[in-house]
Amino acid sequence: MRKTLSLLLFSVLVTVGVSAWSAEKTLKLGVIAELTGDMPAVGTSCKNAAELAVKEINAAGGLQVGKEKLKVELVVEDNAGKAEQSAAAAQKLITQDDVLAIVGPNASRYAIPASEIAESNETVLITPWSTNPKTTLDVNTNQPKKYVFRACFIDPFQGGVLAKFALEKLKAKKAAVLYDVASDYNKGIAEVFKANYEKLGGKIVAFETYTTNDKDFSAQLTKIKAAKPDVIFLPNYYSEVPLQVQQAKRLGITTPFIGSDSWGSAELLKLGGADLNGYYFSTHYAADNAAPVAKKFIIDYEKAYGAKPDDVAALTYDAFGLLFNSIKTAGKADREAIRAALSTLPSYKGVTGDMKFRADSRDPIKSAVILQIKDGQFTYFTNANP
């Protein structure tokens, strides 16, 4: 199945390539994904969804730009799970491949450096999954970046959702946090959670850190155990969370855990298995409770890749939806026109729900969902707003 698909894709690419050679115009779009490194599942979902979105639009004859219909050509770059390679990939896509716009990277610690390159080269970049405010915010001027957009909500929102959920739904008066202090995403959301939780009357009894690639958390978890929290918040990536939960259980910790959207990869279940049963995390969409527009995407994705699309896949698909929409509105294949169209878009109905945009911000307004891990499945639990 996969082979025929990649063959098909290959032939599509070849046709696109040949037609480009025969001087037919195409729309070149770039993708930066974490295909190798510490979160390959994220990059693979992103690449799969991007290829699906492009295949659909090309199957329909291409994208209507002004008077003509143009085929879309995709250039995928791997950032190897490295910040510097993300910046280099953005540079290459913009200057060498001459793409119109970029989708990705996904993790904030890669999206932030790539966004700086896109901004200074005046090329639109939409990150599907990066929730750190700094991705779309110029920290020097405190103004939104002109060329950087995203398809997801941001951490201040998510942190608020989780703080409220822990206090009201889980009735947890005391919380502990263990987070990666060297990673933008983890650090950002941990701090927002702490601020919101304390504002709502909760008490943070332990606020512990570690550094990316650490495998032993026993010292921090022993500290957390001594502080006797009611809930432990782990805003960390899917390859680390299972280790943290397993080590906590070995130290005799029975407190429930909660997490953020970085948990939402099917890999989490493979790596963590039964240890994670019953825990909750906030994320962008629930495949088992999706809007009607999402149904077709979920079915097509499952057919093409043999797995349910995770949140990265859904958000990447939405990022492409936003991009196609604004290219159509712009009416010409021009970077500046795309930016103008995207920044005045009032709302968009995506597979991850309805998004609203404000003129003074690059961040969509949308709601989060809380999922529960039940019998090795992500199960819809509730919708959430702070």
Partner 1 sequence: MSEGIVYWLQQMLNALQLGSIYALIALGYTMVYGILTMINFAHGDVFMVGAFFCFLAATYLGLPFVPTLLLTMIGAALVGALLERLAYKPLRNAPRVSAIITALGLGLFLENFTLALAPYPKHIPPLLENVTWDMGGVSLSSLQVIIIFLSLGLMFLLDYIVHRTPVGMAMRAISWDKTFVPLMGVPVDLIISVTFAIGAGLAGAAGTMYALAYPVIDPYMGIMVGWKAFISAVVGGIGNIRGAMIGAFILGGVEIMVTAFFPSTYRDFVAFTLLLLLIVVRPYGILGKPRTQKV
How many residues contact partner 1, by CB under 8 A?
36
What's the closest the beta carbon of residue 220 comes to partner 1, in angstroms? Answer: 6
CB of 20 to partner 1, least distance (A): 30
Show the tokens assigned to 136: 């779309």
In angstroms, the CA 366 to CA 67 distance is: 33
At its nearest, how many Å lie between partner 1 and the CB of residue 40?
Answer: 5
Q: Which is nearer to partner 1, 56 or 214 (CB)?
A: 214
Closer Cβ to partner 1, 96 or 213, answer by number:
213
Q: What is the footprint of partner 1 within residues 274-303 (CB under 8 A)?
A: none
Q: Rule CB under 8 A: which of 22-81 touch partner 1?
A: 35-36, 38, 40-41
The Cα 379–Cα 287 span in angstroms is 8
Half-sphere exposure of 309 (CA within 13 A, CB side): 34
Nearer to partner 1, 41 or 46 (CB): 41
For residue 14, the tally of other CB atoms under 10 A from its CB is 10
Residue with Cβ nearer partner 1 (126 or 245) = 245
Residues 206-245 that bind partner 1 (CB under 8 A): 208-211, 213-216, 218-220, 222-223, 225-226, 239-240, 242-243
Residue 126 sits at φ, ψ, to 5 deg, of -115, 120
Q: Which of residues 156-185 bind partner 1 (CB under 8 A)?
A: 181
Task: Say how many CA atoms lie within 13 Å of 190 toward its Cβ.
Answer: 24
Instruction: In whole angstroms, give the CA distance from residue 154 to residue 59.
Output: 34
Q: If binding is defined by CB under 8 A, does position 251 make contact with partner 1?
A: yes
Hey, which residues between 81 and 140 contact partner 1 (CB under 8 A)?
none
Q: Name the minimum Å distance from CB 44 to partner 1.
A: 9
CB of 199 to partner 1, least distance (A): 23
To 5 degrees, how large is the angle CA 325–CA 309–CA 148?
A: 40
- Secondary element (H or E) of residue 346: none
Burial of residue 20, with CB atoms counted within 10 A of its CB: 0-12 exposed, 13-18 middle, 19 or more buried: middle
- State the nearest-atom distance from the C-beta of 129 to partner 1, in Å: 18
Give the DSSP per-residue string, 214-236: ----HHHHHHHHHH--SEEEE--
Shorter beta-carbon distance to partner 1: residue 9 or 243: 243
Interaction of residue 6 with partner 1, rule CB under 8 A: no
- How far apart, in Å, do the first and last CA atoms of the chain sit? 43
* Residues 6+ positions from 127 with CB-CB distance below 8 Å: 103, 104, 105, 106, 111, 114, 115, 135, 148, 149, 150, 151, 152, 319
- Minimum CB–partner distance for residue 213 and partner 1 (Å): 6
Q: How far is the CB of 266 from partner 1 (least distance, A)?
A: 11
| Footprint on this chain of partner 1 (rule: CB under 8 A) | 35-36, 38, 40-41, 181, 208-211, 213-216, 218-220, 222-223, 225-226, 239-240, 242-243, 246-247, 249-252, 267, 270-273
